[in-house]
Structure 1
Amino acid sequence: MLKIKIPQRLHINLLSMHSCDYRKNSGIGLAIINKELFLEAKIHSTSIIEVENYCNHPERLQIIIELLKSTKKKYKLEYGVKIKLCGSYFFHVGLGTSTAVTLACLEALFLTNNKTITDNELIKISERGGTSGIGINTYFHGGLIIDSGTKSNNQKHKPSSYIKPKVHSKILAKCNFPNWNLGILIPNERDYIYDEKELIFFEKNCPIPKDEAYFASYLATFGTLASAKDNDYELFCHSINETQKTYWKRKEISQNKFNNLRINRLLSLGVDCAGISSFGNSIYFFDRDPEDVIRKMSTEDDFLYFEYDICNSGRIIC
């Protein structure tokens, strides 16, 4: 029985969303892992995915199953793979679940067939990472990453689901992340932004002003990345709070009126920093005692709370 512990990611910000002659998109993000989320796999006549607990978008799993079947055929693999996803899986909440689960299932397919395949080939098959390279890189390498984006091609910015990149974004800068305490809230009432809604958002808000993109890149590099590398918790938290005020992140937050309310609610309770991962609705926060923060929240705060650990290794194959 093969086992893969599946990391997810916080997507802190997209950076190069302006008109640029060099690189477009790019982002900064952090690999995180929940010990309850892993898959078990074994060979099977066809490809099947079962979820142990809960999945909010079963149709996403069906897309992955079809990808597994087409991959088996294309690569002339002898067996399919039967996968059990242990834990609960929330897609389209800003944690990169689609990318992580897709890559993990594909990797399980090849491993159970005793076939070796490169990371780059897996990424290519997955068709993930069209806009941001954070999720595809944190899956394999973990840590805090700034990705290189893709070469500017004078085409409009689009979300990952509308791009099938020929060349994937590489790691531009990376560091192991300190073992600081992290909490994540997923509201029970969620406003999902993906597919057509996400495309409309990109068309409406891109390109952003150049000076705003320059500041976001400076903040990501000399604020978030540099402070993590230097183990400077206070400066890191300051950079995260400032990130929520950047142009692109403000636009993401504004898609749901409750995002700001939830972030401000956490800050009012004294957390060290708080932000929204990608479009959300996941709200993340860092605090020296996350569980104490949750105890202070009232019953009116309708959410699911998850404890995550920092992941500096990428996925773990057992």
Structure 2
Amino acid sequence: MKVKVKTPSRIHISLIDLNGSIGRVDGGVGFAIEEPSVTIKCEEFDDVVVEGGNVGRFQSVAIKLSQVFDRGIKINVLSDYPSHVGLGSGTQISLAVASAFNEIYELGLSVREMAEITGRGGTSGIGVAVFESGGFVLDGGHSKREKPYFMPSSFSKAKPPRVLARYDFPDWKVVVVVPDLSGFYGEREVNLFQKFCPIPVEDVRKLCHVILMKLLPSVVENNLDDFGEAVKIIQRLGFKRVEVDQYGDLIWGIMDQFDYPIGMSSTGPAVYTVVDTNAKSVGRELRCYFEDRGFDAHVYITRADNFGAEIFYS
């Protein structure tokens, strides 16, 4: 049997509680987008063979899973997107390859089980949740009994957090701009958590207020103005402010220069805005901003994905 797996990517709006005084840490809010995406075609094979695309990223996951399942696989990478730019490619690649094994060899694993095997979702659960069902997602983070420390997903062994709320995201246009600049990952990201956590609890309280009483209602009520206002406020609260600060004036500058609200996804440097008209002209303006400062930039004009990963059989 041959299978094709196509995943969304995700906008990670913010982590929620990196203070932890109430007994939980992390928590996240974000939503799935159609593009960029990961698409692979796979079939049963005696060994691990990966062709096309960025072979190394897929091969490392496939080799690990081959050892876990004692099975081989042949993977043809049809599409992927850069790592460490804030759009969650690591989780989507890991779950796409795990899903291919799962389908080809009829392993009967859930998405959460595949996430645990591949080590995804140890801090934010947004990437795992949008792979499973797309949409706009709020997760509840981790009990400090399970995770008593502040650490990014790639260095956390905690299980993916449970989803507290999931809604279809409105049919707005999402403009994503990715400058040719590497985000914070690995030891740099670990140092970020260790240096700035715990975040002041008052910031966490303000952030929770904005999420509960403005961001979530704006999605449910299809209110683009309120959604944009919530995103704008969130950039200057809690750990999100810390993440944006790491780029100095570059990201703060783009947020301050334009009239429409702009957010940074995860640790960046990808930025996004959500509009109902003029998406192409907005994309051009944001790309020119980065180009004027010496950075090439790629623009995606896309929409939310309210379905999650798709699996096709042949």
User: Any stretches of 5+ residues in structure 2 without a counterpart?
Assistant: none
Mapped to 2, the partners of 1:9 and 1:40 lie a distance apart of 21
Q: Aligned-pair distance for 1:148? A: 0.9
What is residue 155 of structure 1 aligned with on the other side?
Answer: 148
Report the TM-score, using the length of structure 1 for normalisation.
0.89
Q: Is contact 1:18-1:208 (8 Å) kept?
A: yes
Checking the alignment, whether the CA contact within 8 Å between 1:130 and 1:164 is kept in structure 2 is yes
Tell me if structure 2 keeps the 8 A contact 1:179–1:310: yes
Query: Are 2:141 and 2:162, in contact at CA under 8 Å, matched by a contact in 1?
Result: yes
1:277 to 262, 265, 270: 265
Match of 1:196 in 2: 187
Structure 1 position 35, deviation (Å)? 7.0
Structure 1 residue aligned with 2:225: 234
1:317 Cα deviation after fit: 1.2
Amino acid at match of 1:181: K
Is the partner of 1:273 in helix, strand or coil?
A: coil
Partner of 1:158: helix, strand, or coil? coil
Which residues of structure 1 form unaligned runs of 5+?
74-78
Given that 2:283 and 2:301 are in contact with CA atoms closer than 8 Å, whether structure 1 keeps it comes out as: no
Match of 1:248 in 2: 239
Task: Assess if the C-alpha contact under 8 Å between 1:181 and 1:289 holds in 2.
Answer: no
Matched, 1:312 2:303: no
- Quote the offset at 1:180 in angstroms: 0.4
- For 2:284 and 2:138, the matched residues in 1 are separated by 34
Corresponding residue of 1:144: 136
Structure 1 residue corresponding to 2:280, chosen from 291, 304, 308: 291
Contact 1:13 1:249 in 2 (8 A): yes
Task: Determine helix, strand or coil for the equivalent of 1:32.
Answer: strand
- Give the 5 Å matches for 1:52-63: 52=53, 55=54, 59-63=56-60
CA distance in 2, matches of 1:132, 1:146: 10
Task: Tell me the matched-pair count.
Answer: 303
Q: 1:206 to 1:36 in 2, by over 3 A?
A: closer
Tell me whether 1:91 sits opposite 2:77 in the alignment: no
1:38-77 to structure 2, matched below 5 A, reads 38-52=39-53, 55=54, 59-73=56-70
In structure 1, C-alpha distance between the alignment counterparts of 2:99 and 2:175, rounded to whole Å: 28
Please report the TM-score for the alignment, with normalisation by the length of structure 2: 0.91
CA distance in 2, matches of 1:13, 1:40: 32
**Counterpart for residue 119 of structure 1:** 111
CA deviation vs aligned residue, 1:255-310 (integer Å, no higher than 9, x gap): 11222223334x2xx4x321100110111111222101234454536311112221
Counterpart code for 1:140: E
1:76 aligned residue = none
Q: Is the 8 A contact 1:11 1:94 kept in 2?
A: yes
Larger mean CA deviation between 61-70 and 250-259 belongs to 61-70
Which deviates more, 116-125 or 91-100? 116-125
The CA deviation string for residues 212-263 of structure 1, in whole angstroms up to 9 with x for no partner, is 1111112112211111011111111111111111131111001112222233
